[in-house]
Structure 1
Amino acid sequence: MRNELLQIPRVVVAAPHGRSGKTTVTLGLLAALKQKGYNVQPFKKGPDYIDPSWMTMITGNSCRNLDGFLMERELIRGSFARHAADCDIAVVEGAMGLFDGGDIDGSGSTGEIARAIQAPVMLVVDTTRMTRSVAPLVNGFVNFDPGVKIAGVVLNKVTRSRHETMLRQAVEKYCGIPVLGVIPKGKRFTIPDRHLGLIPAAEREELACAVDEIGTAALDCLDLELILSVAGSAPAINARDIPGLGESRAAGGGDRPVIGVFRDRAFTFYYPENLEALAAAGARLQFIDAVNGESLPDVDALYIGGGFPEVFAEQLEANSRLRRDVRDRAEDGLPVYAECGGLMYLARSIAWGERKFAMSGVLPLDVVMKDKPQGHGYEVVEVTGDNPFFKGGTIVKGHEFHNSRVENIDESSVRFAFRVTRGSGIDGKRDGVTRKNVLASYNHLHALGTPEWAAALVTRALEHKTK
């Protein structure tokens, strides 16, 4: 690692509370900057896959997650600096309210991220049924934490010109910070969503049209020149390279094990760092289309991330040969690591409403979709059972967000690897179903926070390749 001062224009998009419009403002800002020719590096605070998929599509740069619960502060600063070093501006979308965290001290909050990377904050305020009262609200945020600089305000859901005038005057007179944008109330600044949030950008090409409309609207609503000035006011950051993601340790290309990765419309939830960590540990990645792929290629291990297999359950069921290949190869000892949607694919079936769809049947259990989340938030597990990838006693931090639950599990032929100390997991107490060289759980981990995971998966792949 090395110390290095980097001048990186940057801004954090935050809000007093969730549902204030952070995501649409962020996407609009990214699209507007991209239309103006800027090279923009996006970041997302906290665990999320869907918003980052849109941010990646808009900017052409892989969005990175910054998470104070999953990552140490040094890793946050290092990841930010590493990926933002060559951009014109970095934009970080916050989560929840600016100072909302895991405890009374705001641990893991968007404010903590802003402090870690020394970034000014643009505060998005939902001004519904509000005029002059915007001033004490904004001042409360400005003065709450001297380590977090609120550099400007975006007024959202403004109804008419008189409303805008009152809001502007209140902010400028009483708060001493500029208004960076005004977004009128209406559907002009919205994007499609579904039961777990936005629709992933990879699913439908026509959703890109929504991005163009948002960018055009943002050019009218946001003061780009002023926002760029705010971003440019950030101090030089003293950053370090990320530890743990070095060059491949494989001796040569021919010795590298091949890890198959389901990556298609149904399975889109992968942190870039997870894939990079596998490559750095010596693997060659081969992406597999679980919807349209004709068969399972000759791989030495399989990584199935999350996504929306329930939405594409009919297509996944129709691809019977791939399902059979996965089942047969797992039965033969193929190392398989699966998270959430991957767990669902390894089940016997997925039931949603009145319909039931056959899955691979690698694990003797069924999955049933529910109307409400069955697990939502950070998950912490302790490794207590035999499994292919983690040593006993290891604490694994991750997150879960699923509307599905496991039913009809045959516990006589599987084991549980994890004891849940925070979160829901499979049954509130356990997670991590294992059978042979398969481990499947609802827990999504991040490779920067769990560096031993990639090395273990590559080691199992290499052993299987040698066998």
Structure 2
Amino acid sequence: MPDVPVSADSYLHYGDGFQGGQFYLYSIQPHSEIGLAYSLLNKISKKGVGIMLSLSLNEQNIKNVPRLVIGAPQGRSGKTTFTLGLLRAFARQGMAVQPFKKGPDYIDASWHTAAAGYTCRNLDSFFMKRNQICKSIFDQSVEKNITIIEGAMGLYDGLDLQGSSSTAEIAKVTRTPVLFVVDATRMTRSIAAMVMGYQHFDPDVQIVGVVLNKVARVRHEKMAREAIEEFCNIPVVGAIPKDVNLCIPDRHLGLVTKGEFDETDKLLDYFADVISEHVDLDKILTLARSAPELPSCSESIVPNLTVEYSLKNRGLKPKIGIIQDAAFSFYYPENIEALKGLGAEVVPISALSDNQLPGDLDGLYIGGGFPEVFAAKLEENETLRGDIRIAGENGLPIYAECGGLMYLGRSIRTSSQNFEMVGLLPFDTQMEGKPQGHGYTIMETNPDQSWFEEKAEIKGHEFHNSKVINLAPHVKFGLIVKRGHGIDGQHDGICYKNVFAAYNHIHALGCPEWAEGMINIAVNYHMSKWTQADKLLS
């Protein structure tokens, strides 16, 4: 089979491709810093499956991605409302804006997606490698005019003294300039001292502009602006007045989810109106265009398609249901894309409105969310709960995270009521007034599970105000907690038949074996159904 030569200033770019069942399209595009030549298979044909490779060249050097990190001295400075208004303001100008959120955050990311009109991605150096972070920006920013990365907490706040997993680390890893949002409440000249400290704390972090938030009056803005531009030598590109309407309602796990808010677009348009009036959008675009080239991400460019090829060659396409609704909305897009990339057919399901599971499912994925908020509606849907319980008892592979774990138990208990859930797993969950688990996690896999290799290290995160109670003593756990809380401080991942339910959330880029494990279990289940059918017919 002949090799296809590739010039040194090109790189392999792969995406969704053509997924009509037979062919997948991969393309070559310019990449100025990768001096590598890739040998590409011209065509693979085995049992009717082909891979088509296209050498289409794009003249634009897409490593020069216009981009900014939105940082702040601390949380509650106004980063999120500013970012949402900025995304929507650029989008209303007809610009293609790619949003990112630093850290493990589902809710802010969903608001970003609504504001920009493009799916927000998360960047996290705890469970993502540096080249994966750069590659995510690289891939998603193709044909976009600007990329905006919203930070989390204070700019330098991280896990340790070195600031690992901080917003600043993301800025450094990706060589992205920082636009600094400062709450100007009761400060004028002192803001310059604060900004100067952040400028010099780490010389590798480039703060290129400031946005003043909660400005009281014209004189307040003038004094702060002049001090920053005089002593810090960077421009103030916006001054947002105090406005009680510049907020999104929140609850125990953060902002209210976008799906629960009836007037999402009206609110986002209001944010954009304020930003358009009080912020210099042209100047921000100029600052974004000053970003240097992204670091090379060549290590992660060529995908491992071994599992995909083997599944395709066996003619299998497992059907996996995903419960996605207002109650269960915590999914990283990469997780769903990983399942699709390995050949799965993904079917959306609502636990609130669908009264039965789709036919011929080979697996079920239930993410996190707020089942406690929608507990009454979930309880009302008794037929679906019964369908899931029977399917699980009959061996359907089910992977559940956090809210999904709660849903599979017997009940959810609040301070005033008790709501029946699926009843597949032998426990109840009790809602508490403060977090029972919050932060990054490190788990080690047990042999009593079939989803991951034994003694593998699984990095993830958790954030839950519920705790498991009345847990049956015979339960088997698939995970040993090395960092975090899990179910009881020592274990996570309840295993029952083909069910795996944990508080731990994983990201497919940080845990690629998760998707492979789910696909393998789903394929085995699919084949076992046909084997049983053959026995009945023989």
TM-score (norm 2): 0.84
Q: Do the aligned residues in 2 keep the contact of 1:82 with 1:242 (CA within 8 Å)?
A: no
- In the TM superposition, what whole-angstrom CA distance separates every residue of 1:264-304 from its partner, at most 9, and x where no partner exists? 11110000000000111121111101100010112101100
Structure-1 residue corresponding to 2:157? 100
- 1:348 pairs, out of 410, 416, 436, with 410
Structure-2 residue corresponding to 1:420? 481
Structure-1 residue corresponding to 2:494? 433
Q: Does 1:450 find its partner at 2:511?
A: yes
Structure-1 residue corresponding to 2:462? 400
Q: Does 1:4 find its partner at 2:66?
A: no
Q: Does 1:25 find its partner at 2:82?
A: yes
How much does 1:202 deviate? Answer: 2.2
Structure-2 residue corresponding to 1:357? 419
Q: Do the aligned residues in 1 keep the contact of 2:238 with 2:279 (CA within 8 Å)?
A: yes
Partner SS for 2:239 = strand
- In the TM superposition, what whole-angstrom CA distance separates every residue of 1:330-351 from its partner, at most 9, and x where no partner exists? 0011111000000010010001
Q: Do the aligned residues in 2 keep the contact of 1:262 with 1:289 (CA within 8 Å)?
A: yes
- In the TM superposition, what whole-angstrom CA distance separates every residue of 1:82-104 from its partner, at most 9, and x where no partner exists? 11122000000001111111111
**Matches of residues 258-277 of structure 1 in structure 2 within 5 Å?**
258-277=319-338
How much does 1:238 deviate? Answer: 3.8
Q: Do the aligned residues in 2 keep the contact of 1:43 with 1:66 (CA within 8 Å)?
A: yes
Q: Does 1:462 find its partner at 2:462?
A: no
Give the direction of change, closer, same or farther, for the CA distance of 1:290–1:253 in structure 2 (3 Å limit): farther
Partner SS for 2:339 = helix
Q: Does 1:133 find its partner at 2:202?
A: no
Which amino acid in structure 2 is aligned with residue 28 of structure 1? G
**Matches of residues 9-408 of structure 1 in structure 2 within 5 Å?**
9-240=66-297, 242=301, 244=303, 248-249=308-309, 250-251=311-312, 255-298=316-359, 299-408=361-470
How much does 1:187 deviate? Answer: 1.2
Paired with 2:313 and 2:181, the residues of 1 have a C-alpha distance of: 51
- In the TM superposition, what whole-angstrom CA distance separates every residue of 1:13-47 from its partner, at most 9, and x where no partner exists? 00111111111111111011111111000000010
Paired with 2:280 and 2:242, the residues of 1 have a C-alpha distance of: 18
How much does 1:239 deviate? Answer: 3.6
Q: Do the aligned residues in 1 keep the contact of 2:91 with 2:117 (CA within 8 Å)?
A: no
Partner SS for 2:354 = coil
Which amino acid in structure 2 is aligned with residue 99 of structure 1? Y
- Ranked by relative contact order (alpha carbons within 8 Å, sequence separation 6 or more), the top structure is 1
Which amino acid in structure 2 is aligned with residue 462 of structure 1? V
Q: Do the aligned residues in 2 keep the contact of 1:335 with 1:388 (CA within 8 Å)?
A: no
Structure 1, unmatched stretches of 5+, are: none
Across the aligned residues of Structure 1 and Structure 2, the Cα RMSD in angstroms comes to: 1.5
Which amino acid in structure 2 is aligned with residue 421 of structure 1? K
Paired with 2:339 and 2:389, the residues of 1 have a C-alpha distance of: 23
Paired with 1:84 and 1:463, the residues of 2 have a C-alpha distance of: 37
Paired with 2:319 and 2:103, the residues of 1 have a C-alpha distance of: 30
Number of aligned positions between the proteins: 466
Pair member with larger Rg: 2
Paired with 2:145 and 2:229, the residues of 1 have a C-alpha distance of: 28
Identical columns (%): 51
Bigger shift: residues 240-249 or 206-215: 240-249
How much does 1:391 deviate? Answer: 1.6
How much does 1:245 deviate? Answer: 7.0
Paired with 1:108 and 1:245, the residues of 2 have a C-alpha distance of: 27
Paired with 1:228 and 1:292, the residues of 2 have a C-alpha distance of: 43
Paired with 2:220 and 2:295, the residues of 1 have a C-alpha distance of: 42
- In the TM superposition, what whole-angstrom CA distance separates every residue of 1:23-82 from its partner, at most 9, and x where no partner exists? 111111101111111100000001000000010111111101110101010111111101
Paired with 2:154 and 2:394, the residues of 1 have a C-alpha distance of: 49
Partner SS for 1:255 = coil
- 1:409 pairs, out of 466, 471, 484, with 471
- In the TM superposition, what whole-angstrom CA distance separates every residue of 1:323-378 from its partner, at most 9, and x where no partner exists? 00100010011111000000010010001121110000010000011111111110
Q: Do the aligned residues in 2 keep the contact of 1:14 with 1:95 (CA within 8 Å)?
A: yes
Which amino acid in structure 1 is aligned with residue 487 of structure 2? I
Which amino acid in structure 2 is aligned with residue 452 of structure 1? E
Give the direction of change, closer, same or farther, for the CA distance of 1:364–1:242 in structure 2 (3 Å limit): farther
Q: Do the aligned residues in 2 keep the contact of 1:11 with 1:122 (CA within 8 Å)?
A: yes
Q: Do the aligned residues in 1 keep the contact of 2:334 with 2:509 (CA within 8 Å)?
A: yes
Paired with 1:264 and 1:245, the residues of 2 have a C-alpha distance of: 32
